[in-house]
Amino acid sequence: MPGSLLSLYINNKAGGLIFQRDFSPAAAKLDVNEHLRLASTFNGLALILRQLSPVRGSSGMELLEADGFILQSFDTLTGLKFFVTAEPETKQPLEVFLREVYMLYSDYVLKNPFYEMDMPIHCDRFDQKLAKLAEDYQRKA
């Protein structure tokens, strides 16, 4: 499906990957270690770009456009970093999608009494709501 979401990543404040989900068969076929490496590389790159930015207080990289994909990032006030990859033809605003994912995270992960901060996310309700959100987003695209 042209313009579709590819993958979602959530990094904790230390830059460690705590959640990853592929939404499309077109997403890169990576093993667990490659996803961990990709997430930490993105976190390091964002930190470097924040330091290189001529704008004081810049959050670093928010959008990266390449020939084969778009990467949109969203930083929370608590230090989490959400980023999504999508096909270049994507017309829907990815930042809106990431903000909605953050709302789901707040509602279903943070309110889960068994979840420990900065640990990998294993929450069925979050997974279900995220799948529905991605499906609705792709239908609009």
Q: What is the pLDDT of residue 2?
A: 55
CA distance 46 to 16: 13
Q: What is the pLDDT of residue 52?
A: 83
H or E segment to which residue 140 belongs: helix 124-140
Q: What is the pLDDT of residue 19?
A: 97
CA distance 1 to 19: 24
pLDDT in tens for each of the 141 residues of the chain? 555 899 999 999 998 999 999 999 888 899 999 999 989 888 888 888 878 877 777 667 788 888 989 999 999 988 899 999 999 888 778 999 999 999 999 999 999 999 999 899 999 999 999 999 999 998 886
List, in sequence order, every beta strand (DSSP E) within the chain. Answer: 5-11, 17-22, 63-65, 70-75, 81-86
Q: What is the pLDDT of residue 90?
A: 83
Q: What is the pLDDT of residue 83?
A: 94
